[in-house]
Structure 1
Amino acid sequence: MTREVGARIRALREARGLSLSALAAEAGIGKGSLSELETGRRNPTLDTLYAVATPLGVPLAALLDDHDGAVIGGGGVVATRVRVLRETDRTTEVYLLRLAPGAVRTSPAHAAGVEEQLIVVAGHGLVRYDDRTVALAPGDHVRFAADRPHAYEAGPDGELEAVNVIVTPSSGQLDR
């Protein structure tokens, strides 16, 4: 998977006419780290993939293995791709998120117009967006604009499991 993800990042970067340095700066990661990702010498984390997807103008699904069941994790957070629906005007991604007790998933702002929904399946935690902190419990549903920084946090006593739906409007750029 590592080589395929790296190849996708490189192809998208080159298609947009971005240098390695420019993409690294926009993503807030080191040029060396990005180079290692592109060549398959470094395993990508969820945070790094989100950081790279935003300046490339693509949904996370454009970087992952292009099949349902693809898994990416790191830092106590595991995301399993459940479904991706590509339509003319948007891409809808559905993931099952699992956060270990006390784990925090901090996300930089996604591309303009991206919206997220979180449906809690099990466990307790928090979601932070804008100036809000919302407590999460099984059955809760939260919907928010994800084109601003946001974060999920599992409670200290158990894993937080949630369905995460991310809707990215089409930008006219390549996303495959």
Structure 2
Amino acid sequence: MRHAQVDYSRRDALLVVDMQNDFCEGGALAVDGGNALVADINAEITTAHQAGALVVATRDWHPVDHVSFAHRGGPWPVHCVQDTEGAAFHPDLRLPADTIRVSKATAFDADAYSGFDGTGLGDYLRDRGISRVVVCGLALDVCVRATVLDARREGFDTLLLESLSAAVDADMVAACRREFAEAGAEVRP
């Protein structure tokens, strides 16, 4: 079920989180339902872009031998290594030419889940007069969660489009909803 249409303006930014090959079915760290999100996210991108909202696409962009990888003691299999097919955005994702692409977790020795973590995104959005961020993508209980919570910490009005997000662990969604509500973020089913 698709959410009610968002009324975008030039003071909004749509943050499309980590819609990368490795996080979609067939990838190294696939989230069930990832591929199915692309068409509706594309529609959301079009709506936001036509209204003059900023479109931002975040991506994991790990160096080879990143600290988050299991062989280095991290929790994840090798995924989203810089300049690989797995790190590329989903081939059907239609990002406008002026999309802001934000790479995160780019250092060997530090992980980052949020699009705001070490990227300067908060200041960039404030400098452009953005007051609200609308978030969707992968994975709801990992990088989307971190991005929503950091958007609130950064002082932005924050709206999560749950129907345009999928979780690694569906059992975590209810806990994420509670956490978002406590942080003051709005969630649209």
TM-score, length-scaled by structure 1 = 0.26
Q: Which has the higher strand share?
A: 1
Q: Which has the higher contact order (CA 8 A, sep 6+)?
A: 2
TM-score, length-scaled by structure 2 = 0.25
Q: Which has the higher helix share?
A: 2
